[in-house]
Structure 1
């Protein structure tokens, strides 16, 4: 329980508490968890952050349709003391990263999509504190067994993680069937690690598997694009992949590139921490696969 509390606190630390976690990125990450009034304010801020920066609280009230009290409460909810401090954090955010999506007005569709992915990768690095990532690497490296849970669009990410962990010699599995995933979760115990991957953080089957794994004593980790989503409530540690600016085809664009980048980062970090074991396993795998090559 102590670990979960610390994770929640870090998630609430935005530009004021952690300069690696930009304010606008954080707001985008918690959109799905906001109530209707907060969502009005958040949408107004994300639509034109520069305008909000030069607006009074009364002007933001008129633009968003929310009350002054609701705006102050929203500012506190995202980690700032009030509207004045919120604007300071917003100014710092814009100065450091520029307007999100600002380069998408011109250029081909190819350029637009790649620009979105590039920005999402940058934000993903910023939204995951290095110390938190290092703790996750250590936890997986010392685990007895790693079980991955995911369905739908996120399952290929889980399968990729399973393949990478297998190359490193870790005992890992990623069942495709949701019933088999639940059975696997029920058989975990202390010393095992359960990893749930969900774009929305609300996928019932994945959240349920983490909940069961946690009740059995396994350490739980989630990889999601939604901060403060239900999956984070059952996770000891969280990895966040930032959502895409593009609304159409949202699931593939928002999750695949940033989630896979985090999986690659885990793979490289684990490989470097266990160099001798990794070299041996990769050599064994390479020799076996070489026999499958066409002459």
Structure 2
């Protein structure tokens, strides 16, 4: 895959494309650097076509789907001195000092953009939902699962209703047993992860409140969400699991945690003292 050039592939097959596929191809060729950071829904909206048209465009080029297309696009748009696995601002010639500065800048920018994307009403509504819920289940797969586990670790110190399931099969089973009294917090940078979308669909059918923490306002995941909290980190298709994206997600989870703590101060403070005492014997 890495040796293929997406633009050569598009040009070689252009005459065989349908009119809709040509419309998608034209947009990609004119906006290649932007498309790398777009969700399938964003690209579909930009081209004024349906998501299924984007998927068919990828299949026409014998690609498995949109994610494989973005990986090829990342390789094709990367300069010779820059690895597509790295941030677009980091080159193979950077010194440790330059790397330190660029990584710091990327993390600060992600936090700042996330801050600018915060809706006070959405945060307030999300916390209200968590307070009213019988159970709060954090979901994610891959690197987003690590973030979901961190969320559970944080909330379980102040409430006994935080849950997180590791296996994707068990996740869908847990979603199937949710009720209208439960909240599902789904974490997915792309909003296009199949397992997470399926969990959202099942939890929604069961009447649970859906909170999505994601990068894109429009994605397959957000079609099921009642509340969408946006993180502001840009992550290329070959940079999955970047700490920059995780830091932005954890920032939002921290915000939910502290607002929940404020609103349930007496109970949360008491529970935090209990959980702290429970692990004190584990410390030297």
**SS of residue in 1 equivalent to 2:221:** helix
**SS of residue in 2 equivalent to 1:167:** coil
* Residues 1:109 and 2:111 are matched in the alignment: no
Q: Aligned-pair RMSD on alpha carbons? A: 2.9
Q: 1:130 to 1:229 in 2, by over 3 A?
A: same
| Of 189, 195, 207, the match for 2:179 | 189
**SS of residue in 1 equivalent to 2:222:** helix
**SS of residue in 1 equivalent to 2:267:** helix
Contact conserved, 1:116 with 1:246, CA < 8 A, in 2? no
Distance (whole Å) between structure 2 residues aligned to residue 190 and residue 246 of structure 1 = 36
Matched ranges for 1:41-120 at <5 A? 42-43=31-32, 108-120=98-110
Distance (whole Å) between structure 2 residues aligned to residue 257 and residue 196 of structure 1 = 16
Contact conserved, 1:201 with 1:226, CA < 8 A, in 2? yes
Distance (whole Å) between structure 1 residues aligned to residue 187 and residue 35 of structure 2 = 26
Q: Which runs of no fewer than 5 residues in structure 1 stay unpaired?
A: 1-33, 48-72, 78-100
Deviation at 1:141, TM superposition (A): 1.5
Equivalent position of 2:3 in the other structure: none
Equivalent position of 2:142 in the other structure: 152
| Of 165, 186, 193, the match for 2:155 | 165
Equivalent position of 2:132 in the other structure: 142
Contact conserved, 1:154 with 1:255, CA < 8 A, in 2? no
Q: 1:213 to 1:129 in 2, by over 3 A?
A: same
Contact conserved, 1:220 with 1:236, CA < 8 A, in 2? yes
Equivalent position of 1:225 in the other structure: 215
Distance (whole Å) between structure 2 residues aligned to residue 242 and residue 40 of structure 1 = 25
Distance (whole Å) between structure 1 residues aligned to residue 264 and residue 173 of structure 2 = 30
TM-score, normalized by length of structure 1?
0.65
Distance (whole Å) between structure 2 residues aligned to residue 46 and residue 184 of structure 1 = 35
Q: 1:123 to 1:240 in 2, by over 3 A?
A: same
Residues 111-166 of structure 1, C-alpha deviations (whole Å, 9 max, x = no match)? 10110110111111112211111111111111111112111011110001111121
Equivalent position of 1:286 in the other structure: 276
Distance (whole Å) between structure 1 residues aligned to residue 259 and residue 187 of structure 2 = 19
Contact conserved, 1:241 with 1:259, CA < 8 A, in 2? yes
Deviation at 1:41, TM superposition (A): 5.2
Which aligned runs of 4 or more in structure 1 are off by greater than 2 angstroms? 34-47, 73-77, 103-107, 243-251
Q: 1:242 to 1:42 in 2, by over 3 A?
A: farther
Contact conserved, 1:195 with 1:210, CA < 8 A, in 2? no
Deviation at 1:253, TM superposition (A): 3.7
Equivalent position of 2:122 in the other structure: 132
TM-score, normalized by length of structure 2?
0.67
Distance (whole Å) between structure 2 residues aligned to residue 289 and residue 231 of structure 1 = 37
Distance (whole Å) between structure 1 residues aligned to residue 237 and residue 278 of structure 2 = 44
Equivalent position of 1:200 in the other structure: 190
Equivalent position of 1:234 in the other structure: 224
